[in-house]
Amino acid sequence: MIAFRRLALAALIPAAALSFGLSGALAQSPAPAASASPSPTSPEPAASASPSPAASASPAPAASPAPAASASPGPAAPPPAVAATPAPVQTADPFGLETTLEPKKVVMVKGTANWDSAFDTLVDAFKALNTLLDKQGIKHAGNAMIVYTSTDDTGFTFLAEIPVDQDPQKLPKDMSIGKSPEGKALKFVHRGSYDNMDNTYEAITNHLDDKRLEAKDTFIEEYLTDPLKTAEDKLVINVFVPLK
């Protein structure tokens, strides 16, 4: 197996509503004071009695708006459901997912690099491939890839590959047309800078050891973000480890 160079995851406070009933005592003037006047004046209190039912009737309709007010808070319940919708969006990146690589037609360039300047060397290789394809009006048919063919303590050899649907013409000596790797592999995902991939490859090595899996002497990086346009600390890279 290839020696991976890189080394080293409110409390709800219930609100209580308190209702206070206020009892008011209505003082009525004594009837004897009115008795001093002649008896014919007695009908007047009878007339005052008639409005009292009217007054008692008026509060009855006032009770009807109360249910209307209680109905209005009902629609306030849906907002929590809306807030819950973002939760399913958060998904974990696959780690050690078994997959099968399908071969793709690619234009490739061979290269060697030292670990200290590895990312700059890979970017230069992608630039050369893009320049060739742009001049011939050939579009990418997939994500750019790096296939590591050998590694040691000082550096590595690699193939920079870009999938295409048609064959470029007049290729330089260091470029060729071929196919990307195929077969069973484990898929891992790295997010962040190229230099920080040490941690990812260390985790991959530990995963292979724990599962007692044998890997081939190569591994592939698929760049989901364009390394020529994306800040290095924002890279998203699929790492495929082919199995024996």
Q: DSSP string covering 144-213, please?
A: -EEEEEEE-SSEEEEEEEEE-SS--SS--TTEEEEE---EEEEEEEEES-STTHHHHHHHHHHHHHHHT-
Query: How high is the pLDDT of residue 75?
Result: 54
More confident residue, 130 or 15: 130
The predicted model scores a pTM of 0.64
Mean pLDDT value of segment 19-48? 41
pLDDT over 70 (residue 71): no
Contact 200, 149 (CB under 8 A): no
114 belongs to a structural domain: yes
User: Would you say residue 193 has pLDDT above 50?
Assistant: yes
Whether residue 71 is contained in a domain is answered as no
Range of the domain at 124: 99-242
Least confident of 17-21, 132-136, 231-235: 17-21
User: Is 12 part of any domain?
Assistant: no
Q: How many C-beta neighbours within 10 Å does residue 139 have?
A: 10
What value does the mean pLDDT take over residues 97-111? 96
Residue 83 lies in a domain: no
Q: Is residue 24 part of a domain?
A: no
Asked if the structure places residue 198 within a domain, the reply is yes
Any domain includes 212: yes
Which SS3 state, helix, strand or coil, does residue 26 take? coil
pLDDT for 77 equals 58
Instruction: Kindly state whether residue 7 falls inside one of the protein's structural domains.
Output: no
What are the pLDDT digits (tens) for 163-184? 999 999 989 999 999 999 999 9
Which tens digits make up the pLDDT trace of 122-179? 999 999 999 999 999 999 999 999 999 999 999 999 999 999 999 999 899 999 999 9
**Residues 97-114, mean pLDDT to the nearest whole number:** 96
Average pLDDT, the chain: 76
Looking at the structure of the chain, the number of domains it has is: 1
Q: What is the CATH number of the domain that holds 212?
A: 3.20.80.10
